[in-house]
Amino acid sequence: MKSEARRKVNPSAKLIACILVFACVVVGVAGLVLPIIPGLLFLAIAVLIVARYFPSMGARLRRNRTIGRHLDRADGFLDLTLWRKVQLGCLLCAKFVLDGIAMIGRSRPSGS
């Protein structure tokens, strides 16, 4: 576990984190029922916020092999410079667009 996890967190930041976690969990659970909302995405965001602002819960989550790897990757993202974050965001957007185009191409019926 990193020493950053032991840092003190501003109480107002914890309050905002609690509100965000609650909102993400509510939207995430609704997304599990409604197919329009990406429920797992919001639940994952809630896990990331909990791990960042609540070190004891973050330590528990890191013990899980799958979640721990994702949390380590998220920590790696936070360590990037702003320019690298922008580059990564642009690459992800390009990938989403290309994947969407490929999906549309596959969903069209072949032949007339």
pTM of the model: 0.58
**Each residue's pLDDT expressed in tens, for the chain with a length of 112 residues:** 444 445 566 778 888 888 888 998 988 888 888 877 787 888 888 888 888 888 888 888 888 887 888 787 777 777 778 888 888 888 888 888 888 888 887 776 665 5
Q: What is the DSSP string of 12-27?
A: HHHHHHHHHHHHHHHH
Exposure b/e, 51-72, CB count within 10 A at least 16 = b:
bbbbbeebeebbeeeebbebbe
Q: Residue ranges per domain, the chain? A: 3-80
